[in-house]
């Protein structure tokens, strides 16, 4: 009966969405004959909702949308080279907002501010302020349309932890204790031992994005403006310190309680393991929450809880780089002595429009992103696991109806949204690194060194030193003062 | 009909050749020259194109002595006693080889010079391998590539020769197996990479039940540097053995039957037949096929990229994959410099093989 009700609700919501958006476009087909090509990564998440909505959008507006996908590791350079060389093979892109700084500075992205201002259907004020003001904007202009909201969270098996008398971890040390205690237990009833922790660590994928969630609680405690990547006075990397080294050790130790091929698993692999009931804990964006309620993929429906990423009871003394216990002065936002620093990692996949294409195509590309982002589509998409879209609109946090229709129980929905809300509202939230060429600092330098560290090719201290040295080399090459100014601006520091 | 003047005939040759020459220049030589310049430059993408700044040899310096050294050449440690012994033996063999040439009847100044250069580079490469394999040393992408080249090509030649000999026997179904053995070569390398990724997955891959029976459940091939490299070599061998097989099969089937029959009449057994009759006759083809495979193997990228992503760490990152990853990171200058380093090493190995090893083998027939 509940399933029938859910299906009816989804059909109803879809019908409402078609009717409501139809009002905007039903007078004629303003983009008849216009073809736009949208580039994104080969998820299949993220591309799925774009591909699914493309025919609907064509029906409404006449514009034909082709979605082209490439591996994540190639996405940045393909956008860059396509635009820089004036090839314009792609009209629009769905990518990581932190790259916006490179693309907007070079003039590759269309300023979407006037488009948004003239578009009531997108309901811009309904987009949560963080995504509306940080992920979408650069230099006070809107360049991106948020389609997704991203925060790291720790997921846990409520049944397995309860049976073992364990609480969800509040610190990374507790995470290791819980993972160690549950590792090897059969959690899906197949008679095989399962894993205490599943965290994707595959190189050249998105695994490097986890690490700031391990390191940040040891490094940032005085609020978002303190910064977790660079010193805000010298722009020296906050890497060569005991906190970063401790985070590396924890990151590596989680692997002892994980699947044997964790270092080659991408995030899709760990999600599959989790919803197959093989993991007690996992670190992920919002995706596991909605995948876990999908009856086609999950055997852990209503057995999954989510909490803010674990914190630390120690933070570094920035003068010495040594770890010191949290005090009310050092960790003013600590809860029960635990300093949390949730990372707004990735900032949510967002759509940008090329500045080098015809006005007709720009209009069509913007209209497509607007259509996908409108509450009628977005509020349903975020409840479906395979979309990869996570909540980013205020209404998505307030109205449980789509979540219940999507298969969440009320408790699971509140738990899931509560964990995201805790992160989103945390005054010590860590913002993604958004300085010019941030992709080089993180994807090009940090990713392979983390992989080498996991493989035993570096000690924690050596890995920290190597990352720090290479970050400094990039900074010297680009210019320290410019990078510092960009970093300060990205943190919203008024000086 | 009157013949055209001879000078028109002469010029027509150049006119007719010109299109082909232009195509070669445009598609091959110009890009090659441009990439040399790229390797000496820093390139930034800006609105409407890119900026190129000439920086001399800094990209090479970065790879050989700077921040890229550890990844390209590896991490060095003092050689072990065993390492020293290998190095000393190798140097002694090289000196003996040079001595024989210098005291031999065919010595020339150019030949001596080439041999001295060859010895220096070969000793440097061995020194690199020894120092990155000792103690806390770690092989960089260059040494990893050398492992793939020599490990893979050796395995491919031995297996290819074995299969070719097998198919030349009068066994039932040999026509069928001749086609079956060729199939892996027809598959795209990336496809084979993903195929082996599934096969080496001991948890949920199609071979998982077998791994379980073998007691290797919960074991990952691709988490340990040695087994990850082995997995790449196995995958590469699976794909390229058919190439060696088909060439050697053609060579074996093309051999004159008289010598074989004569050997049989003289009472040669199978081993003697292979060692003294078949092998010497297929040495020219063998050396050619090995040379082609060595040159190709230096460019390996698909298999480690799809199978391991170059990991764990950089344990399976070949030089080409390294260059590709730098290119992904928009470091086009260093990527080009790396490609030229690879070109230098591959050319050196190929020249040594052609001039010294292949020549020697052919002379020994």
pLDDT for residue B104:
87
User: Is residue B33 located within the same domain as residue B176?
Assistant: no
Q: What is the mean pLDDT of residues A143-159?
A: 93
Same domain assignment for residues B225 and B309: yes
Q: Decide if B48 and A86 are in contact by the 8 Å CB cutoff.
A: yes
Span B228-253, mean pLDDT?
93
Task: State the pLDDT confidence band at B2, using cuts at 50, 70 and 90.
Answer: low
- Quick one: closest CA in A to B136, which residue? A457
Residue A445: which region, alpha, beta or left (left: phi > 0; alpha: psi -120 to 50)?
A: alpha
- Pick the closest to residue B133 from B147, B119, B154, B122 (CA basis): B147
Q: Are residues A172 and A130 in the same domain?
A: no
Q: How many residues make up chain B in this entry?
A: 365
pLDDT tens-digit series, residues A61-93: 999 999 999 988 889 989 988 998 888 999 999
Indicate if B116 and B197 belong to the same structural domain. no
Could you tell me if residue B342 is inside a domain? Answer: yes
Q: String of b and e for B219-253 (b: at least 16 CB within 10 Å)? A: bbbbbbbebbbbbbbbbbbbbbbbbbbbbbbebbe
Per residue in A452-468, pLDDT (tens digit) is 899 888 999 999 999 99
To the nearest 10°, the Cα dihedral for A195, A167, A248, A279? 20
A280 and A159 housed in the same domain: yes
Cross-chain residue pair A263–B223, CB shorter than 8 Å: yes
How does pLDDT run across B181-233, given as a tens digit for each residue? 888 888 888 888 888 888 887 777 787 788 778 877 777 777 788 889 999 99
pLDDT at A303 over 90: yes
Domain extent, residue A162, equals 153-345
Would you say residue B47 has pLDDT above 80?
no
Establish if B316 touches chain A: CB-CB under 8 angstroms.
no
- Name every chain A residue with its beta carbon within 8 A of the beta carbon of B48: 84, 86
Parallel, antiparallel, or unpaired for β A195-198 and A279-284?
A: parallel
SS3 sequence of B161-195? HHHHHHHHCCCCCHHHHHHHHHHHHHCCHHHHHHH
Residue B297 binned pLDDT confidence (cut-offs 50, 70, 90): very high
DSSP B2: P
In a domain, B312, yes or no: yes
Does A84 contact chain B (CB < 8 Å)?
yes
Among B48, B310, B330, select the one facing A204 at the smallest CB separation. B310
Q: Are residues A374 and A264 in the same domain?
A: no
**One domain for residues A73 and A165:** no
Total domains present in chain A: 2
Q: Is B67 on the interface with A (CB under 8 A)?
A: yes
Residue A390 lies in a domain: yes
pLDDT of residue B15: 85
If asked whether residues B252 and B268 sit together in one domain, one would say yes
For residues A102 and A159, state if they share a domain.
no
CATH number reported for the structural domain that contains residue A50 in this entry? 3.40.190.10
Q: Dihedral (C-alpha) A200, A206, A212, A215: value to the nearest 10 degrees?
A: 30
A131 in a structural domain: yes
Domain count, chain B: 3
Confidence class of residue B5 from pLDDT cuts 50, 70 and 90? low
B125 and B90 share a domain?
yes
Range of the domain at B42: 6-54
Domain boundary among A345, A377, A410: A345
Domain assignment present for residue B269? The answer is yes
Per-residue pLDDT reduced to its tens digit, A384-433? 988 989 999 999 999 999 999 988 888 888 888 988 888 888 999 998 89
- Mean pLDDT across chain A, nearest whole number? 89
State residue A27's pLDDT score.
Answer: 55
Phi, psi of B17 (to 5 degrees): -80, -25
Considering the domain architecture, whether residues A88 and A144 belong to the same structural domain is answered as yes
Residues A56 and A205 in one domain: no
Question: Do B244 and B345 fall into the same domain?
Answer: yes
What confidence score (pLDDT) does residue B310 get?
87
Distance CA A227, CA A489 (A): 11
**Same domain? A176 vs A91:** no
B20 found inside a domain: yes
User: Stretch B318-345: mean pLDDT, rounded?
Assistant: 92
For residue A23, pLDDT beyond 70: no
Same-domain check for residues A62 and A23: yes
Phi, psi of B247, deg, nearest 5: -70, -45
When mean pLDDT is compared across A2-16, A56-70, A176-190, A323-337, the lowest value belongs to A2-16
Chain A: give the shortest CA distance to residue B65, in Å. 14
Do the Cβ atoms of B309 and A202 come within 8 Å? yes
**Model pTM?**
0.82
Question: What is the band of B334 on the pLDDT scale with cuts at 50, 70, 90?
Answer: very high
CB contact under 8 A, A261 and B202: yes
């Amino acid at each position: 009966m509940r399933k029938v009700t859910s299906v009816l609700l989804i059909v109803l919501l879809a019908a409402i969405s078609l009717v409501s958006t139809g009002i905007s476009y039903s007078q004629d087909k303003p983009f008849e004959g216009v073809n736009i090509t949208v580039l994104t990564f080969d998820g299949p998440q993220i591309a799925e909702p774009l591909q699914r909505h493309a025919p609907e959008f064509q029906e409404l507006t006449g514009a034909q949308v082709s979605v082209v996908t490439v591996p994540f590791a190639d996405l940045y350079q393909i956008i860059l080279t396509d635009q820089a060389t004036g090839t314009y093979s792609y009209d629009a892109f769905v990518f990581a907002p932190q790259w916006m700084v490179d693309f907007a500075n070079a003039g590759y992205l269309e300023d979407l501010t006037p488009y948004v201002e003239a578009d009531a259907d997108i309901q811009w004020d309904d987009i949560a302020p963080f995504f509306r003001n940080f992920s979408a904007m650069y230099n006070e202009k809107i360049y991106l349309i948020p389609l997704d909201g991203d925060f790291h969270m720790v997921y846990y098996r409520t049944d397995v932890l309860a049976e073992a008398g364990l609480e969800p971890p509040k610190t990374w040390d507790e995470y290791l204790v819980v993972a160690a205690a549950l590792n090897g237990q059969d959690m899906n009833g197949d008679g095989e031992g399962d894993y205490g922790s599943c965290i994707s660590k595959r190189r050249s994928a998105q695994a490097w994005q986890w690490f700031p969630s391990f390191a940040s609680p040891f490094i940032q405690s005085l609020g978002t403006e303190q910064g977790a990547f660079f010193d805000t006075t010298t722009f020296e990397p906050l890497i060569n310190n005991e906190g970063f080294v401790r985070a590396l050790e924890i990151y590596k130790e989680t692997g002892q309680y994980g699947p044997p091929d964790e270092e080659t698993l991408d995030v899709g692999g760990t999600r599959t393991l989790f919803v197959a009931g093989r993991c007690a804990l996992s670190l992920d964006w919002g995706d596991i929450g909605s995948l876990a309620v999908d009856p086609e993929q999950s055997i852990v429906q209503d057995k999954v809880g989510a909490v803010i990423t674990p914190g630390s009871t120690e933070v570094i003394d920035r003068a010495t780089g040594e770890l010191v216990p949290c005090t009310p002065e050092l960790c003013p936002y600590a809860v029960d002595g635990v300093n949390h620093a949730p990372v707004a990692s990735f900032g949510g996949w967002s759509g940008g429009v090329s500045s080098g294409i015809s006005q007709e195509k720009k209009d069509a590309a913007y209209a497509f992103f607007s259509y996908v982002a409108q509450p009628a589509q977005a509020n349903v998409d975020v409840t479906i696991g395979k979309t990869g879209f996570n909540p980013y609109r205020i209404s998505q946090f307030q109205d449980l109806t789509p979540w219940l229709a999507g298969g969440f129980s009320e408790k699971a929905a509140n738990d899931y949204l509560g964990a995201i809300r805790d992160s989103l509202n945390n005054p010590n939230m860590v913002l993604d690194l958004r300085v010019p060429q941030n992709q080089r600092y993180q994807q090009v330098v940090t990713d392979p060194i983390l992989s080498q560290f996991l493989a035993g090719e570096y000690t924690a201290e050596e890995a920290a030193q190597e990352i720090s040295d290479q970050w400094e080399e990039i900074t010297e090459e680009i210019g320290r003062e410019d990078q510092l100014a960009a970093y300060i601006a990205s943190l919203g520091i008024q000086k | 009909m009157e013949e055209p003047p001879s000078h028109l005939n002469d010029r027509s040759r150049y006119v007719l050749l010109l299109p082909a020459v232009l195509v070669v220049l445009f598609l091959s030589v110009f890009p090659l020259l441009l990439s040399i310049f790229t390797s000496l430059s820093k390139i930034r993408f800006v609105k409407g194109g890119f900026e190129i700044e000439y920086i001399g040899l800094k990209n090479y310096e970065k790879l050989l002595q700077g921040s890229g050294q550890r990844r390209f050449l590896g991490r060095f440690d003092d050689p072990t006693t065993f390492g020293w012994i290998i190095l000393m033996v190798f140097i002694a063999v090289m000196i003996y080889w040079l001595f024989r040439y210098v005291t031999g009847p065919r010595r020339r100044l150019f030949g001596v010079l080439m041999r001295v250069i060859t010895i220096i580079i070969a000793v440097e490469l061995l020194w690199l391998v020894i120092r990155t394999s000792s103690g806390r040393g770690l092989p960089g992408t260059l040494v990893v590539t050398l492992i793939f080249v020599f490990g893979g090509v050796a395995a491919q030649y031995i297996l290819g020769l074995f299969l070719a000999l097998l198919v030349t026997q009068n066994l039932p179904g040999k026509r069928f197996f001749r086609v079956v053995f060729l199939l892996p070569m027809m598959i795209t390398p990336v496809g084979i990479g993903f195929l082996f990724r599934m096969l080496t997955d001991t948890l949920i891959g199609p071979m998982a039940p077998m791994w379980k029976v073998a007691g290797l459940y919960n074991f990952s091939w691709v988490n340990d540097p040695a087994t990850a490299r082995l997995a790449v070599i196995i995958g590469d061998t699976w794909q390229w053995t058919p190439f060696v097989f088909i060439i050697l099969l053609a060579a074996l089937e093309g051999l004159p039957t008289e010598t074989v029959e004569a050997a049989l009449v003289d009472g040669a057994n199978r081993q003697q037949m292979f060692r003294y009759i078949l092998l010497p006759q297929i040495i020219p083809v063998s050396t050619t096929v090995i040379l082609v495979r060595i040159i190709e193997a230096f460019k390996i990228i698909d298999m480690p990229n799809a199978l391991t992503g170059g990991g764990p760490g950089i344990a399976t990152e070949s030089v080409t994959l390294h260059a590709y990853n730098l290119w992904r990171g928009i470091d086009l200058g260093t990527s080009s410099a790396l490609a030229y380093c690879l070109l230098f090493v591959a050319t050196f190995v190929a020249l040594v093989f052609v001039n010294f090893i292949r020549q020697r083998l052919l002379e020994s027939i």
